[in-house]
């Protein structure tokens, strides 16, 4: 049976947990909902998809090459809340305790680390599942790579194969970057070609095949708004393609041989106990004695109820 690598979009998962759950805190007032939600989703994903290997990839606070290429890139995003920032090292410490490999690289986004890990895993014969809510990742989908996206909460998930990407985006995975370059992406603050939306981008790519095919044949377009928009925004379109393209050769070591999934080990349980996550521990370690965990079972009933939001 082929090995399957589950690659986790660490920052995406943390943000989802932060916004979906109420502000859980320990008795000392330490916020914990990011840690709680992160490991709840990780647990469910591993249970559902039974990967043989697991890897988590993160962003870093350092500027990336995209910020240098386009100074307005992601500039509209709100400042990350302090109680979120406080929990990032808590998630990473917990991953370390569980011997779950995580990787990041200054100058590159977590997306690029995921892209690089995906390519290396494919070359080693892995099937790859990317756990993320980011549609940009769909450009990596092929016969050996799928994305797994929360659908309604996290009680349901959507697995995006190449056919599912076409159904969702109107273009195949290998044209996602060209599509975004034309239509733009307001979530990261680049505009593409003014006046060209998703439907027009899909139509142009269906007719000319690629972005380069469109740009090389602008004169063949009928006179009008679309033709003028492309002519007037060629540089923005080209920059958009650079911004949208996930790097698959980032200069980072991906220790795939160390990512073999060995289960949720005891040191992680100890770390989660420090964060008073008794109901989560009961799920991750169902065969353990629960004398400590059950002390606060009633207190965490609301936490368990909230997991339905995922």
Are both 31 and 113 inside the same structural domain? yes
Domain with 120 in it: what CATH number?
A: 3.40.50.1010
Can you give the C-alpha Rg of the chain in angstroms?
21
SS3 31: strand
Q: Which residue has the higher pLDDT, 297 or 20?
A: 20
Tell me how far apart the alpha carbons of residues 123 and 204 are, in angstroms, rounded to a whole number.
33
Structure confidence at residue 190 (pLDDT): 74
Domain residues for the domain of 202 are 173-244
Structure confidence at residue 195 (pLDDT): 81
Are both 132 and 88 inside the same structural domain? yes
Asked whether residue 277 is assigned to any structural domain, the reply reads: no
Q: Which of 63-77, 130-144, 230-244, 273-287 has the lowest mean pLDDT?
A: 63-77
Asked whether residue 119 is assigned to any structural domain, the reply reads: yes
Structure confidence at residue 293 (pLDDT): 46
pLDDT at 118 over 80: yes
- Rounded to 10°, the helix 33-49/88-97 angle is 40
Asked whether residue 278 is assigned to any structural domain, the reply reads: no
First to last CA, the chain: 30
Are both 230 and 151 inside the same structural domain? no
Structure confidence at residue 69 (pLDDT): 78
Q: Which of 244, 274, 291 delimits the end of a domain?
A: 244
Tell me whether strands 145-150 and 157-160 are parallel, antiparallel or unpaired.
antiparallel
SS3 breakdown of the chain: % helix, strand, coil, rounded to 5? 50, 10, 40
Tell me how far apart the alpha carbons of residues 104 and 263 are, in angstroms, rounded to a whole number.
23
Asked whether residue 282 is assigned to any structural domain, the reply reads: no
Element of type H or E holding 6 = strand 4-9
Structure tokens that stand for 5 in this block = 């690598």
Are both 10 and 154 inside the same structural domain? yes
Domain with 215 in it: what CATH number?
A: 1.10.150.20
Structure confidence at residue 149 (pLDDT): 87
Task: Please give the tally of structural domains in the chain.
Answer: 2
Are both 114 and 97 inside the same structural domain? yes
Are both 192 and 125 inside the same structural domain? no
Asked whether residue 203 is assigned to any structural domain, the reply reads: yes
Torsion over CA of 26, 28, 34 and 36, rounded to 10 degrees?
Answer: -20
Structure confidence at residue 309 (pLDDT): 41
Tell me whether strands 53-57 and 4-9 are parallel, antiparallel or unpaired.
parallel
Are both 164 and 222 inside the same structural domain? no
Are both 82 and 203 inside the same structural domain? no
Q: Which of 217, 244, 271 delimits the end of a domain?
A: 244
Mean of per-residue pLDDT scores for the chain: 88
Are both 187 and 162 inside the same structural domain? no
- The pLDDT tens digits of the residues spanning 184-243 come to 877 766 777 888 888 999 999 999 999 999 999 999 988 889 999 999 888 889 888 999
Other CB atoms within 10 Å distance of the CB of residue 266: 12
Using a 10 angstrom Cβ sphere, with 0-12 exposed, 13-18 middle and 19 or more buried, the burial of residue 63 is: exposed
Are both 133 and 226 inside the same structural domain? no
Q: Which of 258, 283, 305 delimits the end of a domain?
A: 258
Asked whether residue 290 is assigned to any structural domain, the reply reads: no
Asked whether residue 235 is assigned to any structural domain, the reply reads: yes
pTM value is 0.90
Are both 188 and 215 inside the same structural domain? yes
Asked whether residue 10 is assigned to any structural domain, the reply reads: yes
Kindly write down the DSSP assignment for every residue of 50-113, as one continuous string.
--SEEEEE---SS--HHHHH-TTTTTTSPPPPHHHHTTHHHHHHHHHHTT--EE--TTS-HHHH
Query: What is the total residue count of the chain?
Result: 310
pLDDT at 301 over 70: no
List beta partners, residue 25.
31
Are both 58 and 156 inside the same structural domain? yes
Summarize the confidence of residues 114-139 as an average pLDDT.
Answer: 96
- The pLDDT tens digits of the residues spanning 132-184 come to 999 999 999 999 999 998 755 556 788 999 999 999 999 999 999 999 999 88
């Amino acid at each position: 049976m082929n090995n399957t690598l589950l690659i986790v979009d660490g920052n995406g998962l943390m943000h989802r947990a932060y916004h979906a759950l109420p502000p859980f805190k320990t008795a000392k007032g330490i916020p914990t909902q990011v840690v709680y939600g992160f490991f709840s989703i990780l647990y469910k994903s591993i249970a559902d998809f039974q990967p043989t290997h697991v890897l988590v990839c993160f962003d870093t606070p350092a500027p990336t090459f995209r910020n240098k290429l386009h100074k307005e890139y992601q500039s509209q995003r709100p400042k990350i809340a302090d109680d979120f920032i406080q929990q990032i090292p808590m998630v990473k410490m917990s991953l370390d305790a569980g011997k779950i490999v995580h990787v990041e690289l200054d100058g590159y986004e977590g997306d690029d680390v995921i892209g690089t890990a995906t390519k290396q895993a494919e070359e080693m014969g892995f099937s790859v599942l990317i756990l993320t809510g980011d549609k940009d990742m769909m450009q990596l989908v092929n016969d050996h790579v799928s994305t797994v996206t929360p659908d309604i909460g996290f009680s349901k998930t959507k697995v995006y194969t190449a056919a599912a990407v076409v159904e969702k985006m109107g273009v195949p995975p290998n044209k996602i970057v060209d599509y975004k370059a034309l239509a733009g992406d307001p979530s990261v603050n680049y505009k593409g070609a003014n006046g060209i939306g998703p439907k027009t981008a899909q139509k142009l790519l269906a007719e000319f095949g690629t972005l380069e095919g469109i740009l090389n044949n602008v004169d063949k377009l009928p006179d009008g708004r679309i033709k003028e928009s492309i002519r007037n925004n060629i540089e923005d379109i080209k920059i958009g393609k650079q911004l949208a393209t996930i790097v698959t050769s980032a200069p980072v070591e991906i220790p795939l041989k160390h990512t073999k999934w060995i289960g949720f080990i005891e040191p992680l349980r100890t770390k989660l106990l420090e964060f008073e996550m008794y109901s989560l521990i009961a799920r991750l370690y169902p065969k353990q004695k629960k004398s400590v965990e059950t002390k606060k079972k009633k207190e965490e009933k609301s936490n368990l109820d909230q997991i339905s939001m995922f």
